[in-house]
Structure 1
Amino acid sequence: MNIEVRLIDNSKGKGIFATSYIPQGSILFEEEPLVACQFSWNATCKYEACDHCLRPLETAQNNVRRLTGISSLELPYPECCETKKEDITFCNLCAVKYCSELCRVQAFNQYHKVLCIQTSYRNNVHPLEQLEDAWKKIHYPPETSSIFLIVRLLAQTLQSSNKEHFTAQILNFCHRSVNEDAALAHKFLGEKFIGQVDSLRELLRNAIPNENIEHFLTPEGFQSLLALIGTNGQGVGTSPFSVWRDNVYKLNLSTQDKENIDNFIEKIYDDMFSHTGDFLNSEGVGLYKLQSCANHSCEPNAEIQFLHNNSKLSLIALKDIEPDEEICISYLDECNIERSRHSRRKTLMENYLFACECPKCLSQIEDPDVTSEEEMSECEIED
């Protein structure tokens, strides 16, 4: 790879730097997650995805029918849908769905052996189901993380043949729960959630074996894990309809057919927005070892994409990058990145516990420290 991870300083930590010239549009690297999971509310709303890699399990047509609420909608060019229903398989004990036998085996060997809930123990009585229900009651959509990242990390630790090595990988992520200088705790430990932290910890203790992971289940250890998933969790977006759309645009269509399909797709997106809102294809969240080393900038030179329609992450250069230039991404979504300096820094401090000093923030240092009502109404974060 034409990148490397370097230690910047003790306060900022690591960063990713280019080792040679990188042209705009290049894939800097691709990475599988250490662990990933679907958002709990997405699953409740019938977003069908592989329980391991988050690849969609529904066809493009079923996807748009669900998201538009139009059960009679028919997509042309069905050959452009890449969902392979014939490859879908299940855990033979708990009926969890996977996109392939490979994903089922990988999940079982990594963490599912510990977490498998036989169907006879379901109906909201199993501790894992109680834990998920408790999490959903304090984290309504749009979700930004999931308690099951912690669950799967701990289960993977228990199943690991080298528990010390895997624990070291977990601790290598930034897991600072407070910013002492700003006297601020991560939002998962703030006033909105602090009353639920001990309850979540006890539910977690009851849900999985405790041997060899007791240090993560102490109050301090659990708070550290909550901060870890809060500051490092990367949203994963997949969509069978988006794949269908891109494949249709590759077809050799006549001018009239292109115009017709453009209008058809635009109408579908309008219907989706009216019925479902903005959150159409955010399937879940993952932890990525290399991506977590990328620092934030409000003027990023790279962005994360999910080109394979699963949890495999691709980092793409947004502009030409020179040798020794730091590669930065935005931790903010498209809406928040356009907000005022004060609003951006406030969101970053609550979620990532740092005050941004990127070139854009430094150039706007004289701007007033206020948050406009328009910004709040357009881009309110629920979680």
Structure 2
Amino acid sequence: MAAGDSSGVEVRLNLPNKGRALFASRDHAEGESLFEETPIVSAQFLWNKLYKYAACDHCLRSLETAQGMCRRLTNNPSLELPHPECCPVDDSAYVSCPHCQKVYCSATCRDRAWSQYHMTLCRRASVSDDDHPLAKLEEAWRNIHYPPETCSIMLIARMIATVKQAKDPSSALAAFSQFCHTTVNEEEEIAHKLLGETFQSHLELLRSLVTGALYEEQLQQWFTPEGFKSLFALIGTNGQGIGTSSLSVWVKGCDLLTLGDEERESLDTLIDRVYDDLDKACGQFLNCEGSGLYSLQSACNHSCDANAEVTFPHNDFTLCVKALRAIKQGEEVCICYLSECDVERSRHSRQKILK
């Protein structure tokens, strides 16, 4: 299910104190893309979706224009962004599931979602949405896990549905078994906050709702208390955040425009003002956000002095790992799990955040 050229890297297994790790199989120059890949499975965060961050229900591509997004978030319907040609959003290609009306950026995404997991998860009109088992599951999740989200119960639902719909379920299971999913690490620190003692009743409620909605005999190990914990541990250890934004695409497009000095200064001032207004209105919550499981990226270990970084260059869930500096053949490829601000903290603080 992963896509893209991975010939420049290789995964090594059973390494002392590391487990899996990713290594360069040839030299890479600074700024070069090491590989791109799409996730085995991904899902938009439920609070993000509830607050009307419009994203393709499969690839998470932002479905709003940059101007539309800014108008919504700043509650300023008269806001005008110049150079609309720098925002290539085309709603004429959007399609919906004919049964539940979930929106996709293209017929390709709709068809891929249906064939991989959506046939199982589709809420057909014959069932009242509020009474649907998956609607009850989503509501329970929102009551348990307030923003900012770090994963989604629907990621687990899509994992289950992907195996149920697979032509070869054993191969689909094997794709998930490649990920590290211990419920505790070497220092007995939990891999996801919902695995802590405080949340045991919440976890049991979620397990009960998932079982009622999606139980599958061939996946019975995932529906036991320990098996269900292992799914959260798998996501907590391997899940990669995904962010898409039409505004970001528009800004990058504006940066490429050939403009005179005065016009450039005026445009840059406008962009700064727009971001200031957005910061006051919604803080860090600018993007369509979700989480996904990536085969190659999940093998990248952390370093506070990383030689590579994760980007999303196509405004969808396609992940790119890019070299921050020259990487030699045989060198381990490491990314930083921390934000730019957190990297500047003390070693003790960084270790605490990483745990």
Q: Is the 8 A contact 2:36 2:319 kept in 1?
A: yes
* CA drift at 1:8: 5.3
Aligned to 2:326: 320
Pick from 74, 79, 83: which aligns with 2:89?
83
Identity of aligned residues (%): 49
* CA drift at 1:347: 2.0
Across the two proteins, how many residue pairs are aligned to each other?
348
- Mapped to 1, the partners of 2:125 and 2:80 lie a distance apart of 35
Aligned to 1:370: none
Aligned to 2:232: 226
Aligned to 2:282: 276
Aligned to 2:76: 70
Q: Is the 8 A contact 1:188 1:227 kept in 2?
A: no
Aligned to 2:264: 258
Per-residue Cα deviation, 1:125-144 (whole angstroms, up to 9, x for no partner): 21111111111112111111
Aligned to 1:235: 241
Range with bigger deviation, 225-234 or 5-14: 5-14
Q: Is 1:345 matched up with 2:346?
A: no
Q: Is 1:117 matched up with 2:129?
A: no
Structure 2: gaps spanning 5 or more residues:
1-6
- Mapped to 1, the partners of 2:128 and 2:82 lie a distance apart of 40
Q: Is 1:97 matched up with 2:103?
A: yes
Q: Is 1:158 matched up with 2:181?
A: no
Structure 1: gaps spanning 5 or more residues:
350-383
Q: TM-score, normalised by structure 2?
A: 0.95
Local SS of the residue matching 1:304? strand
Per-residue Cα deviation, 1:317-376 (whole angstroms, up to 9, x for no partner): 011112211110111222322222112111222xxxxxxxxxxxxxxxxxxxxxxxxxxx
Pick from 286, 297, 310: which aligns with 1:291?
297
Q: Is the 8 A contact 2:181 2:234 kept in 1?
A: yes
Aligned to 2:4: none
Q: TM-score, normalised by structure 1?
A: 0.88
Q: Is 1:144 matched up with 2:150?
A: yes
Aligned to 1:167: 173
* CA drift at 1:289: 0.7
Local SS of the residue matching 2:72? helix
Aligned to 1:126: 132
- Mapped to 2, the partners of 1:338 and 1:195 lie a distance apart of 37
Q: Is the 8 A contact 2:303 2:336 kept in 1?
A: yes
Local SS of the residue matching 1:166? helix
* CA drift at 1:176: 0.7
- Mapped to 1, the partners of 2:340 and 2:124 lie a distance apart of 41
Local SS of the residue matching 2:333? strand
* CA drift at 1:215: 1.2
Q: Is the 8 A contact 1:235 1:282 kept in 2?
A: no
Aligned to 2:3: none
Per-residue Cα deviation, 1:252-310 (whole angstroms, up to 9, x for no partner): 21211101100000000000000000121152111101111110111111000000000
Q: Which amino acid aligns with 1:322?
A: K
Local SS of the residue matching 1:220? helix
Point out 4+ residue stretches in structure 1 off by more than 6 angstroms. none
* Cα-Cα RMSD: 1.3
Residues 173-188 of structure 1: matches in 2 within 5 Å? 173-179=179-185, 181-186=186-191, 187-188=193-194
Shift in alpha-carbon separation, 1:8–1:168, aligned structure 2, 3 A = closer
Shift in alpha-carbon separation, 1:192–1:336, aligned structure 2, 3 A = farther
- Mapped to 1, the partners of 2:146 and 2:139 lie a distance apart of 11
- Mapped to 2, the partners of 1:208 and 1:7 lie a distance apart of 33
- Mapped to 2, the partners of 1:129 and 1:335 lie a distance apart of 37
* CA drift at 1:193: 2.1
Q: Which amino acid aligns with 1:152?
A: R
Shift in alpha-carbon separation, 1:214–1:8, aligned structure 2, 3 A = closer
Aligned to 1:4: 10
- Mapped to 1, the partners of 2:72 and 2:52 lie a distance apart of 8
- Mapped to 1, the partners of 2:225 and 2:44 lie a distance apart of 26
